[in-house]
Structure formats: C-alpha cells, structure tokens
Amino acid sequence: MKYSFAPNVPVTLPVANSHENFPVRRIYCVGKNYADHIVEMGGNAKRDEPVFFTKSAQTIVKNYSKIPYPRNTTNLHYEVELVVAIGPNGIFGYSVGLDMTRRDVQKIAKSKGGPWSRAKNFPNSAVCSNITPSDQVKIQNAEIKLLKNNEIVQKSNISKLIWSINEIISYLKHDMDLKEGDLIYTGTPAGVGAVLPGDILLGQIDGLEEINVEFV
C-alpha cells in the first residue's frame, strides 16, 4: 500500500496496571443521562430522551496534560463522566472522562436547531484517564466526583444514570456499529460550569484511576 502521505498514528490510552495501550476507534457520547443535569439545563427529566453525539479520537487528552484554552469560546464548560471502553468481548474497562463543551457555541446551535459538532468535537475536548479493566472494579454504585481547584463542583453516583450502561450499549449496537476500540461517554450529573486558564480539574470515580488536567 502506497500512502499519499504518512497516515496518522492511532490514538491510544494507557491501560491501568499493565503495559498495554488501548487503541481508540470512535467516541460516542450520551447527553441528558442524569435527571439533575437535565433540570439545570432547562429540560424536563421525565420527558427528555437521552441524545447521542460523537467526538473524533483525535480530540483525546490524557492524564496530567496542560490543555490550551480553546479558540472561539468564552464559556468553556467541564462535564465529568464515566467512560466505558469497548473491547473484542464487550466491556473492556472504564475511565474518568471530561466532556469539554463550548457552551456558548452549543447554546447558539440549540437555538437554531443546528448540529453540536463545533460545541463538542473540537481539539482537546475528550479528556480521558487511563482505562481500568472491567474485572478490576465494581462500577454500578460508584461515586463520581469533580473537583475544580480542590473544591467539589460535581458529585453523584453511577447508579443514577437514566439509561444504564447495558442499555446504552444495546442501543448503540442496534443503531450504530459499536466495536472494539470505541469509547462511550455516559453523560454528566448536575454542577457543570466554566473553566478558565489556570484552573485544575480533578475527576474521580470510585475504583478508577483519576483524571487530573490543568488549563493554560
């Protein structure tokens, strides 16, 4: 095979407690999956169905990164989320993720009924910790938490997901082509808010390696 130019090197995430690296294929994201977050965004938790959107693998940011504040926004928001990593035999493992969002861009897109791509799928928008293999953790009742500059800003429990991990997986299998290498960001609880240069975000889920990044 002769390429016109050198192909991109696959994006990978380290696997915790091993020397393996997880090659990332696609990133699926679920919106509106915790009732308290739907309410804070002005929605109706009883009526609203979860929404799905995607990010490119190239938007991944690993632990301990310094992240440049993105262009074309004055309202960059954090959303801490459980990330499910899919392997050849189902769930491979879990990570702590930050679904970074240009909230001002999303607000304009929502008002015009336009796509969310520019609000969600921009450089450095998919922050993700190392992947903990699924056989090393019990995730169903794990606490999920985000600290901004050492202050807790988001706190909930994985048991509060409106659509469970298995329901999301079966939906995506039916609707898309969920395969090994895919990541699923499962949605964020209430407490989303703005990030500024100099802020440090620390995301934690019981039993998983934490995610720690700084915005510059």
Residues that bind Mn ion (CB under 5 A): 79, 99, 188
Q: At closest approach, how far in Å is the CB of 2 from Mn ion?
A: 40
Question: CB-wise, 99 or 209, nearer to Mn ion?
Answer: 99
- CB count within 10 Å of CB 143 equals 13
Handedness of CA 49, 84, 91, 13 (dihedral sign): positive
Question: CB-wise, 125 or 132, nearer to Mn ion?
Answer: 125
Beta strands, E only, 27-182: 27-31, 51-55, 60-61, 66-67, 76-78, 80-87, 90-99, 101-102, 126-128, 132-133, 143-148, 151-157
Q: At closest approach, how far in Å is the CB of 186 from Mn ion?
A: 9
* Element housing 194 (H / E): strand 193-194
Q: At closest approach, how far in Å is the CB of 144 from Mn ion?
A: 12
Q: At closest approach, how far in Å is the CB of 201 from Mn ion?
A: 14
Q: At closest approach, how far in Å is the CB of 99 from Mn ion?
A: 4
Q: Which residue is nearest to Mn ion (CB)?
A: 99
Residue 94, SS3 per DSSP: strand
Question: CB-wise, 99 or 182, nearer to Mn ion?
Answer: 99
Question: CB-wise, 41 or 91, nearer to Mn ion?
Answer: 41
- Give the Cα separation of 79 and 72 in Å (integer): 19
Q: At closest approach, how far in Å is the CB of 69 from Mn ion?
A: 19
- Give the Cα separation of 31 and 60 in Å (integer): 18
- Give the Cα separation of 153 and 80 in Å (integer): 10
Question: CB-wise, 127 or 147, nearer to Mn ion?
Answer: 127
Cα–chain center distance at 33: 12
